[in-house]
Structure 1
Amino acid sequence: MTSGEPASLQLPSFLYGTFRSVQQKTKREGLRCGEQYLADGTFPAPRQMLDVPPGEVVVAHEVVDFQHERPAWRLYMVSHVMGFLAPDGQRPFPVRHDYEAFFRDTAWGALFFATTHMGAVSAERTARRLQSVLRFWEPLQSARYLFKPLGGAQTLEEVMVASCDWAMDAWYPEGGASVRTRLEVAAERMASATREDCIEAMLREMPRALAHAGKLKHRSVVADPSFQRERLATLDSRSFERVSGAYTGELISLVIGWDRELGRH
Structure 2
Amino acid sequence: MDALLDTVDQQNTLPTRDACEAFFLETAWGALYFALAQMGPVSATRTAKRLQAVLRFWEPLQCARYLFKKVGMAHTLEELMVAAYDWAMDAWCPEGDASVHERLAMAAERMERATREDCIEAIFREMPRALAHADKLKHWKRVADPDFQRERLTTLDSWFFERVSAARPGDLIWLLTNWDHELEVQ
Could you tell me the TM-score, scaled by structure 1's length? 0.67
1:121 alignment partner, one of 20, 33, 42: 42
2:129 alignment partner, one of 208, 221, 235: 208
- What does the per-residue CA deviation read over 1:130-157, in whole Å, with 9 as the maximum and x for residues that have no partner? 0000000000000001111344211001
Residue 212 of structure 1: CA displacement?
A: 0.9
Residue 226 of structure 1: CA displacement?
A: 1.1
| CA–CA separation in structure 1 for the residues paired with 2:41 and 2:183 | 25
Residue 93 of structure 1: CA displacement?
A: 2.0
% identity of equivalent residues: 67
Give the total of aligned pairs.
184
| CA–CA separation in structure 1 for the residues paired with 2:28 and 2:79 | 17
Query: Is 1:135–2:56 an aligned residue pair?
Result: yes
Residue 89 of structure 1: CA displacement?
A: 3.4
Structure-1 residue corresponding to 2:75: 154
Query: Is 1:237–2:162 an aligned residue pair?
Result: no
1:217 alignment partner, one of 138, 142, 147: 138
Alpha-carbon RMSD? 1.3
Q: Secondary structure at the match of 1:153?
A: strand
Unaligned runs of 5+ in 1: 1-81
| CA–CA separation in structure 1 for the residues paired with 2:8 and 2:30 | 25
Query: Is 1:173–2:130 an aligned residue pair?
Result: no
Structure-2 residue corresponding to 1:89: 9
- Residues 215 and 120 (structure 1), Cα distance of their counterparts in 2 relative to 1, 3 Å cut: closer
2:105 alignment partner, one of 167, 184, 187: 184
Residue 216 of structure 1: CA displacement?
A: 1.5
Q: Secondary structure at the match of 1:216?
A: coil
What does 1:13-32 correspond to in 2, within 5 Å?
none
Structure number with larger C-alpha Rg: 1
| CA–CA separation in structure 2 for the residues paired with 1:187 and 1:117 | 17
Structure-2 residue corresponding to 1:98: 19
Higher relative CO (Cα under 8 Å, sequence separation at least 6) belongs to 2
Structure-2 residue corresponding to 1:9: none
Q: Secondary structure at the match of 2:70?
A: coil
What does 1:33-72 correspond to in 2, within 5 Å?
none
